[in-house]
Amino acid sequence: MRIVRFAHPAGMSFGVLDGDGQVAQIEGHPFGQISFTGQRFAAADVRLLSPILPSKVVGIGKNYADHIAEMKTGHAPEEPLVFLKPSTSVIGPGDAIRIPAGSTDVHHEVELAVVIGARGARQVTPEQALDSVFGYTIGNDVSERDMQRRDGQWTRAKGFDSFCPLGPWIETDLRGLGKDPADLEITCRVDGELRQSGRTSQLLFGVPALISHISRIMTLLPGDVVLTGTPAGVGPIAPGQRVECAIEGLGTLTNTVAGADPTSTAGATR
């Protein structure tokens, strides 16, 4: 089942994207028993948003050996390397990745994104971890490399508004499509040029191990997103370019790249 969050004339809703290109609106959130409103929209008549608004996005660094080698950041970690991206970094398909003013080395990072389900995850074993998964989507862990190197920790480099595109939908039954989340093709193209190509089977720490590890540090709430790491081939993006992140069975997440957003809340009406 493909779960989407979409904007329509009456507001924003969750829905299910049918094979016929129609979006069937559902009541409330998609966790638990899904109830349909009976309202249907043509996919061409709605705007897809990020499929979920998580309370937090948990990133994993250095989880592909070839990416560690290209970044020249030493040996592979002995346990998952965890960092956080704020919820305000999340954008949806078609939205613009905004390059911060003065930045010249902002990179794309295509990643398999895991969406946590209704039961959440706290102190779960790897064997229990997949019971906490609602579904999978595509993420782009956009990163400002100069700041990442200079700061020594990654919050600023990976936390800017628009630095976490997610979408285009959440697939809740990859295995029903004949796809194994542990072995999916993953690619990123910039202006049509293939930059990244790998498979999730190359993850140093797989999804069950990641969820278990994170759940022993912090409670994962329903809708939280785990970014699992990126393969080699990361590189700079600049205003005017188009980034296409694709994962087998999950479609393509496409975003444009634009300059910094100068909009300020200072002086706004109270």
Residues linked to residue 242 through DSSP beta bridges, in sequence order: 256
- Reduce the secondary structure of the chain to three states and give it as a string: CEEEEEEECCEEEEEEECCCCEEEEECCCCCCCCCEEEEEEEHHHCEECCCCCCCCEEEEECCEHHHHHHHCCCCCCCCCEEEEECHHHEECCCCEEECCCCCCCEECCEEEEEEECCCCECCCCHHHHHHHEEEEEEEECCEEHHHHHHHCCCHHHHHCCCCEEEEEEEECCCHHHCCCCCCCEEEEEECCEEEEEEEHHHECCCHHHHHHHHHCCCCECCCCEEECCCCCCCCECCCCCEEEEEECCCEEEEEEEECCCCCCCCCCCC
Dihedral of alpha carbons 240, 198, 134, 156, sign: negative
For residues 125 and 245, membership in a common domain is answered with yes
25 and 75 part of one domain: no
Q: Pick the residue with more confidence: 135 or 269?
A: 135
Confidence check: pLDDT of 72 > 90: no
Domain membership flag for residue 267: no
Q: What are the tens digits of pLDDT across the range 166-212?
A: 999 999 999 999 999 999 999 999 999 999 999 999 999 999 999 99
Report whether pLDDT(105) > 80: yes
Whether residues 254 and 190 fall in one domain: yes
Q: Is residue 265 part of a domain?
A: no
The whole domain housing 13 covers: 2-48
Whether 236 maps to a domain, the answer reads yes
**Does 198 lie in the same domain as 67?**
yes
Check whether residue 80 and residue 190 sit in a common domain.
yes
Provide the number of structural domains found in the chain: 2
How high is the mean pLDDT of the chain?
A: 95
Q: Say whether pLDDT at 47 is over 70.
A: yes
Tell me, yes or no, whether 125 and 67 share the same domain.
yes
Same domain, yes or no: 20 and 147: no
Domain assignment present for residue 162? The answer is: yes
- 142 & 42 share domain: no
Query: Mean pLDDT throughout 159-170?
Result: 98
Domain assignment present for residue 269? The answer is no
What is the C-alpha to C-alpha distance for residues 68 and 80, in angstroms, rounded to an integer?
13
Here the CATH number for the domain that contains residue 173 is: 3.90.850.10
109 and 19 both lie in a single domain: no
Q: Would you place residue 71 in the very low, low, confident or very high pLDDT band (cuts 50, 70, 90)?
A: confident
Banded pLDDT at 270 (limits 50, 70, 90): low
